[in-house]
Amino acid sequence: MALLSEAKLGAGGHETRYFVDILTQNSAGNWVLCLPTRLSAFQDELELLLGRAFAGRPRCQENLELAQQLTLNWCISKCKKQGITLEECLREDGSR
C-alpha cells in the first residue's frame, strides 16, 4: 500500500509525525482517493484539482508523489477552513 508523504503538524511547540494513505495507486495505475469522512463531501473538488494539475502527464511514481503532496496540502487547507487540524480529522475516522 502506498503511503502519503510524511506530514509534520505542530501544536503546542511539538511535532506529531504520521503517515496517511489518502491517495494511492491501484494495480491498473489509476489513482484512488480515500478521504477522511469529514472531507469526502469535497472529493469532486479535489479530483478536479488533480485532473487539472496532472492532465497529459504520465502516471509515473514521481507524479504520484507530487499528487500525494498536493492532496495532503489540500486536506490540511480544507481542515483549517473547518477549524480543525488534519490530525483531528483523521482521528475522527479512527481508522488512520
Task: Dump pLDDT digits (tens) for 9-40.
Answer: 444 444 444 455 889 899 998 899 999 999 99
Residue 5 identity: S
Query: What gap in Å lies between CA 96 and CA 93, rounded to an integer?
Result: 7
Which pTM does this prediction carry? 0.76
Phi, psi of 15 (to 5 degrees): -105, 145
Specify the 3-state DSSP secondary structure of 6.
Answer: coil
| Proportion of the chain in helix, strand, coil states, percent, rounded to 5 | 50, 15, 35
Mean pLDDT of the chain: 81
